[in-house]
Amino acid sequence: MRENIIQKSAELFLSLGFKSVTMDDIANEMGISKKTIYVHFANKTKLVEAVTFDVFENICAGIDGICDTSPNPIQQLYDIKLFVMQHLRNEKTSPQHQLKKYYPQIYQRLHLKQFEKMHSSVTESLQKGVDTELFRASINVDFISRMYFNGMTGIKDDTYFPSTLYTMEYLMESYLEYHLRAIVTDKGLQLLNKFITSNQS
């Protein structure tokens, strides 16, 4: 039952927002009593926390699968971008923004976990790119990995990149190209240009 509650709550939170969905809404949607939810979660904050980290783990599992199967680091980043975009299509609200506003402690913990996850996988990917001569040997892998995380999280900030001006698809696509153009070798650039052309067609 706990897993069912998390799953249904995730659907509601991502489509309607953390703030507007009540425990009553979840109970009604599932056809159970509110008491049943409280058996598994002491309060709404605990439920939001469980949902947030469950969604995070699912995304991580998907990204790990891509990292294990991608033939090269450039394709890997494009495949991850595609996977994340498909995931974001289920979000009618901006859950990260709401999380930051209404559940700042959960947001801080999630942000740190996101950094740890992305830092380790991007570092590994960058090193693979250097080893296969797709990325320049002179790059500081640790620094670039941190910059990549900072940029990817930064473009999601509606204050600086308003959704009235930019779609998330455009932002992710543009940032990815910006990031890769800064580090590729001539060999990497040929591969990158193929992806840019196929994405535009």
| Residue 91 confidence (pLDDT) | 62
Contact at 8 Å (CB) between 59 and 81?
no
| Residue 84 confidence (pLDDT) | 84
As a whole number of angstroms, the distance between CA 125 and CA 58 comes to: 20
| Residue 200 confidence (pLDDT) | 64
| Residue 142 confidence (pLDDT) | 98
As a whole number of angstroms, the distance between CA 181 and CA 188 comes to: 9
One pLDDT digit (tens) per residue for the chain, 201 residues: 999 999 999 999 988 889 999 999 999 999 999 999 999 999 999 999 999 999 999 999 999 999 999 999 999 999 998 898 887 765 655 777 788 899 999 999 999 999 999 999 999 999 999 999 999 999 999 999 999 999 999 998 888 999 899 988 899 999 999 999 999 999 999 999 988 888 764
Q: Closest by alpha carbon to 102, among 171, 155, 49, 37?
A: 49
| Residue 74 confidence (pLDDT) | 95
Structural domains of the chain, with CATH:
43-200 (1.10.357.10)
